[in-house]
Amino acid sequence: MNIHTKHIQTSLLALALLTGSAQAETGDRLAEAYRIPQDARGLLVAKVESVEFLKDNEYSGGIQKGYTLPGFRLSPRLIFFPHDNIKLEAGAYLLRYWGARRYPCYAYSDIARWQGEQYQHGFHALPWLRAQFSLGEHWNIVLGNIYGAGAHGLLEPLYNPELSLTADPEAGAQILFDTERVHLDIWGSWDSFIFRGDTHQEAFTVGAALRLRWNRPEAPVHFYTDVQALAQHRGGEIDTITVSSVQTLMNGAVAAGAVWNTRGRHVRAVGGEMSVAGYYQQAGELLPYDDGYGVYVRGWAEVHDFRVKAAFWHSKTFVPLFGSPFFGAVSQAESGVFYPKQQMVQWGAEYARSFGREYTVGVKADVYHHLGLGTSFSAGIFMRISPEFVIKRFR
């Protein structure tokens, strides 16, 4: 791999992680985000991770209303390595939208149906705690704030990249397994906790993402297979809800893809992928459909510091748990409006440039054309700043 190609991949990975768009084309490099460095024992490090963003969504067609996200996400924390195989982090998560004065205590997708009405002022603020244990060369166990959002590498119909700018950090437990041919991520995130007498539901999400690499990612043509699953359960034995008090919703996907590492002067890599996604309402009547499916075909190319992409989506009564509403059959703009059969063409482009490992600036644009419903687009600019400072090494 030449130096320029490696620079492009590092920049695009940083952009993917900060915008949540880390999917198949970056999935083989996600392990870099959580690998414990060698010879880190005894180090106490201060890290300030910040993402500044301005994203404009101009939506039409009745599926989703347009809006703008101007603001920043800030996470200062201390990192300590008490052992060669242990990493501890403690800090805070702060979210600020310019012009906003108060924030719901939680900001998960669909939170309004099952979360309290408490508000915070000035910032949306949460504590940040993570304990990571490396069990040898291949296994990692994470408790507290897990490696979530784009780090799961989920397909866009299963996970909306924008949630990396709006949703709370996932917190729970995670198991990570990596070898040359296999990447496995299993996690559980507790989204809503309840006390006796609460009027909202408890909710938790479990997920799994498996990647099988059929040859080395650096090979001239690399082949892979992805298997992904999500399930969200809402309920609780001590809440005060008596009607439709239990809901269990599921999404899943199977994908196969290939990447041609051209190593050319202008076009660095070209990739293609086909996936089949599914939806199942195992319990409850929260949504109007009990099952559905979608077929997603996409391709991309890395050209200089750019990535360009195109995709086609066909679905029938598919409902995403955390995916973009554009892939779903339920309108988020108008109550009681449904689109059981969807066909959508999608185009997009990303530019990213890193200044060392700690500073990345990126621009991202997407166009969504729903056949028979109209065209929507979104565009945004992002900057990731994540300096680290060694405070002391304890012996």
What amino acid is encoded at 294 in this protein?
G
What confidence score (pLDDT) does residue 207 get?
A: 97
Q: 263 in the Ramachandran plot: left (φ > 0), alpha (ψ -120 to 50) or beta?
A: left
Dihedral angle sign, alpha carbons of residues 339, 342, 345, 349: positive
Residue pLDDT, tens place only, 8-36: 444 445 555 555 444 444 445 566 678 88
| pLDDT digits 0-9 by tens, 283-325 | 878 788 999 999 999 999 998 888 999 999 999 999 999 998 8
Return mean pLDDT, the chain. Answer: 86
- The residue type found at 193 is F
**Residue 347's pLDDT is what?**
95
pLDDT digits (tens, 9 = 90+) for 212-262: 999 998 899 999 999 999 999 887 666 555 556 678 999 999 999 999 998
Q: What CATH class is the domain 3-393? A: mainly beta
pLDDT reading at 382 higher than 50: yes
- Rounded Cα distance, 203 and 93, in Å: 21
What are the structural domain ranges in the chain? 3-393
**The two structure tokens encoding residue 31:** 């392990």
Higher pLDDT, 214 or 164: 214
Highest mean pLDDT among 134-138, 191-195, 289-293, 351-355: 289-293
Confidence of residue 5 (pLDDT cuts 50, 70, 90): very low
**pTM score:** 0.88
Give the burial class of 142: count Cβ atoms within 10 A of its Cβ; 0-12 exposed, 13-18 middle, 19 or more buried: buried
**What H or E segment, with its residue span, contains residue 19?**
helix 3-19
Mean pLDDT over residues 115-136, rounded? 85
- pLDDT score, position 292: 96
pLDDT band at 47; cut points 50, 70, 90: very high
Side-chain-facing half-sphere of 224: CA atoms under 13 Å: 28
How high is the pLDDT of residue 140? 95
